[in-house]
Amino acid sequence: MDYILLQLTAGLTHTRLSFGRALFGAAVGSTASLLILLPPLPLVLSLLCRLGSSVLLCIAAFGCKDRKRLFWHCLCFLGMSCMLAGILLALSLLGAKIYYANGSWYPDISLRHLVLFTAGAYLVLSIVQRVQDRSAAADGSYRVTIRSRDAVVMLNGLADTGNALTDFYTGKPVIICNKAQLRPLLPETLPPERFRPLPCSTVAGEGMVLCFTPDEVIISNDRRRKCVDVLIGITEQGTDRAVFNPKLLRY
């Protein structure tokens, strides 16, 4: 369950999470579940233990270099954990055999049913996410405003679920833009301290996209306006619009 919660947290925060890191984080979380075997703890101490174990679990999975992102990782993980706890509480009120002690839940159901129910819940969440992405992609035309130092450009935006490019160092999503459209933001020579290559996969095959961190990016249309924390990817081919993942508009 911790592994699935970590994967959902990674999806909500647009963070790249490898299988090994997710498994390591889940292992850290599973050791905290052993608290259920201890004598009853005071409520405050039990909550502090669960909070501390959740923070350690997120650090194990996502690292702690960026404290701001760590905060959002912990917040998302705790929120979904509370949602799961609410579901278990509702099941216990309906007569299911679920035991609770020291902040840990133990549902007394077979492994087969647990796997089936978990897979079903994950499938439902995936379908809901796809429907939301498609609705956002069809939500009219967008304008993407990019500011870097004293220069500002405004581009037509394209919400495309096919753009899943994410920086594996910072976890930030990447908006793909045409180099000609970004000319006012770019110096004559691209200094390596501000611009670096990022591997990517396209329909044509594998390649590299040069990325940089802008000072501000705003995505807007007639009904919404959102400031997003992203990288800008530079390409010399393709559309003249700024291509972004519609997930950016949801969080």
Let me know whether 96 and 161 are in one domain.
Answer: no
CA–centroid distance for 51 within its chain: 20
Question: For all residues of the chain together, what is the average pLDDT?
Answer: 79
* Residue 125 covered by a domain: no
Three-class secondary structure of residue 24 per DSSP: helix
d(CA 202, CA 162): 9
Residues 6 and 105 in one domain: yes
Residue that finishes a domain, picked among 61, 87, 109: 109
Query: Which helix (H) or strand (E) is 198 found in, with range?
Result: strand 195-202
| CB 224, CB 249: distance < 8 Å | yes
What are the tokens at 143?
Answer: 């304008």
pLDDT (mean) for 187-215: 75
pLDDT higher than 70, residue 191: no
pLDDT at position 204 over 60: no
Q: Are residues 105 and 171 in the same domain?
A: no
Could you say which of 64, 84, 109 is where a domain stops? 109
Instruction: Give the pLDDT score at 2.
Output: 84
pLDDT at res. 147? 92
* Domain contains 226: yes
Residue 88 lies in a domain: yes
Q: Which residue has the tokens 């793909």?
A: 176
Cα(46)–Cα(102) distance, integer angstroms = 5
Please indicate, yes or no, if residue 82 is contained in any of the structural domains: yes
Instruction: From 196, 197, 182, 190, select the one nearest 240 (Cα to Cα).
Output: 182
136's tokens? 């956002």
Q: What is the pLDDT of residues 55-85, one digit of tens each?
A: 888 898 888 877 778 888 888 888 888 777 7
Task: Classify residue 80 as exposed, middle or buried by CB count within 10 Å of its CB (0-12, 13-18, 19+).
Answer: middle
Which pLDDT score is estimated for 138? 54
pLDDT in tens, 119-158: 887 788 778 777 766 665 555 688 999 998 888 999 998 8
**pLDDT over threshold 60, residue 206:** yes
Supply the Cα-derived Rg of the chain in whole angstroms. Answer: 22
Q: Is 242 in the same domain as 177?
A: yes
Q: What is the mean pLDDT of residues 196-203?
A: 73
CATH number for the domain spanning 235: value is 2.40.70.10
Whether 44 is in a domain gets the answer yes
Count of domains observed in the chain: 2
48's tokens: 């502090």
Structure tokens at 156: 């037509």
Q: Find the domain containing 74 and state its range.
A: 2-109
Same domain for 146 and 105: no
In DSSP notation, 91-119 reads HHHTT--EEEETTEEEE---HHHHHHHHH
